[in-house]
């Protein structure tokens, strides 16, 4: 294993393989040429984003480790994973577009005859260590080998809940291509992916895979896997366009005006996969609340309801202080206020955005009580129950 040098002791120590590899050589030279790389780091759109919890460490620890709060952050029963079969996935989608949410941000998209796998995480923990770190709250809906051939794997950024070393190593033994943000290819090469199977893109760059065009688009987040967060790997959202359909995957991001620009350049979309879990007032710049997620979808659609919103980045790992069921429930509420269609599949449940959408709030049967009612208060009921994160979505349109 490669070594890293501790800045405090000056000593070298083994570097865990899961930390990946730092960009070097021509890859690093290309990073330095990027218009989004300045002062030695990649820059966020919209200015500097806070990437660490704001406020005091004591207040954060009090909130995060509170016993009552911890009890609400996990389901109170077994998550009803859909029994996906190989036959389900082998049958072509009738409309040409089918999405299967595998949990968290992992989605299999079958679009215009090609298969795209976003942010695949099949590992038991999103951590560099098999014995520590956030553990799955439900099993993977289908074994990785049972997915069948995948044309391209798309990675949004290099955090452990989006880039999983065991999963990448398993996929490295297939014929799939990998589309990744600038710099992330160094990790994949260390784990056995050959350079000729990598499509490494800066924001606004595109690549062709079969009949699809994949474009890396901006996001407001950050990167890092090891003890040194060098900000030398980019984070991105992704647009995938086929002959008949177009879809969008947000990766991880805070809300920013760039959604409107992405929508104007590449939309509207048949479906968007929007991060709206693991949010907190402690890190408002880098993750979106459900209300912000719906707002982002509307921006991508030209500021009008359209297409289908698939909520992602929730339900699978305990990564934030909010209640486990909040993202699912509050997304339905926020979307209903503006007439936006939302898909609410169980993990592993395939659906076609142009067909009947899964809409049952399956999480209610295993959720503890929320701090706020299932339904957002109406204007007539006053603002007493409205949280500071709520957005006047109707007014934003």
As a whole number of angstroms, the distance between CA 53 and CA 60 comes to 7
pLDDT tens column, 71-94: 677 899 999 999 888 888 889 999
Q: Please list the helix, strand and coil fractions of the chain in percent, rounded to the nearest 5, in that order.
A: 25, 20, 55
CB-CB neighbours of 379 under 10 Å: 9
Q: Pick 204 or 226 by higher pLDDT.
A: 204
Q: Return the minimum-mean-pLDDT range out of 75-84, 111-120, 346-355, 371-380.
A: 371-380
pLDDT tens column, 250-263: 999 999 999 999 99
Across residues 237-245, what is the average pLDDT?
Answer: 98
pLDDT tens column, 118-130: 999 999 999 999 8
Answer whether 343's CB lies under 8 Å from 308's CB: yes
Across residues 129-149, what is the average pLDDT?
Answer: 93
As a whole number of angstroms, the distance between CA 397 and CA 392 comes to 9
As a whole number of angstroms, the distance between CA 200 and CA 184 comes to 8
pLDDT at 283: 87
Q: Give percent of the chain above pLDDT 70.
A: 83
Backbone angles phi, psi at 240, to 5 degrees: -120, 120
Residue 293 has pLDDT above 50, yes or no: yes
Q: Return the minimum-mean-pLDDT range out of 197-206, 239-248, 366-375, 386-395.
A: 386-395
Q: Return the minimum-mean-pLDDT range out of 124-138, 290-304, 380-394.
A: 380-394
As a whole number of angstroms, the distance between CA 158 and CA 163 comes to 5
As a whole number of angstroms, the distance between CA 122 and CA 100 comes to 14
pLDDT at 50: 72
Q: 381: pLDDT confidence band, cut at 50, 70 and 90?
A: very low
């Amino acid at each position: 294993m490669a070594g890293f040098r501790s800045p405090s002791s000056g000593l070298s120590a083994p570097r865990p393989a899961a930390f990946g590899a730092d960009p070097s050589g021509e890859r690093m030279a290309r990073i330095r040429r990027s218009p989004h790389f300045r002062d030695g780091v990649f820059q966020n759109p919209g200015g500097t984003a806070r990437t660490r919890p704001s406020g005091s460490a004591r207040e954060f620890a009090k909130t995060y480790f509170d016993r009552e709060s911890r009890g609400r952050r996990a389901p109170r029963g077994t998550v009803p994973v859909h029994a996906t079969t190989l036959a389900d996935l082998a049958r072509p989608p009738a409309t040409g577009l089918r999405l299967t949410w595998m949990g968290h941000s992992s989605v299999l998209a079958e679009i215009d005859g090609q298969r795209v796998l976003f942010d695949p995480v099949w590992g038991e923990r999103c951590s560099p260590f098999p014995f520590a770190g956030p553990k799955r709250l439900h099993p993977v809906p289908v074994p990785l080998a049972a997915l069948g051939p995948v044309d391209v794997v798309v990675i949004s950024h290099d955090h452990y809940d989006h880039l999983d070393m065991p999963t990448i190593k398993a996929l490295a033994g297939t014929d799939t291509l990998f589309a990744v943000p600038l710099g992330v290819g160094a990790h994949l090469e260390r784990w056995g992916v050959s350079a000729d199977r990598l499509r490494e893109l800066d924001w606004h760059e595109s690549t062709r895979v079969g009949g699809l065009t994949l474009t890396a688009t901006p996001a407001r987040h950050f990167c890092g896997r090891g003890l040194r967060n060098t900000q030398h790997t980019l984070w991105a959202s992704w647009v995938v366009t086929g002959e008949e359909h177009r879809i969008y995957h947000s990766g991880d991001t805070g809300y920013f005006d760039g959604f409107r620009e992405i929508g104007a350049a590449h939309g509207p979309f048949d479906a968007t996969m929007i991060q709206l879990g693991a949010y907190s007032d402690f890190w408002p710049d880098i993750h979106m609340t459900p209300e912000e997620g719906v707002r982002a979808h509307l921006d991508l659609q030209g500021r009008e309801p359209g297409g289908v919103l698939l909520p992602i980045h929730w339900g699978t790992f305990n990564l934030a202080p909010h209640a486990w069921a909040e993202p699912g429930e509050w997304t339905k509420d926020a979307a209903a206020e503006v007439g936006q269609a939302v898909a609410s599949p169980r993990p592993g449940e395939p659906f076609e955005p142009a067909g009947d959408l899964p809409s049952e709030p399956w999480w209610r049967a295993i959720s503890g009580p929320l701090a706020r009612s299932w339904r957002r208060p109406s204007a007539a009921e006053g603002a007493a129950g409205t949280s500071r994160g709520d957005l006047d979505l109707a007014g934003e349109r």
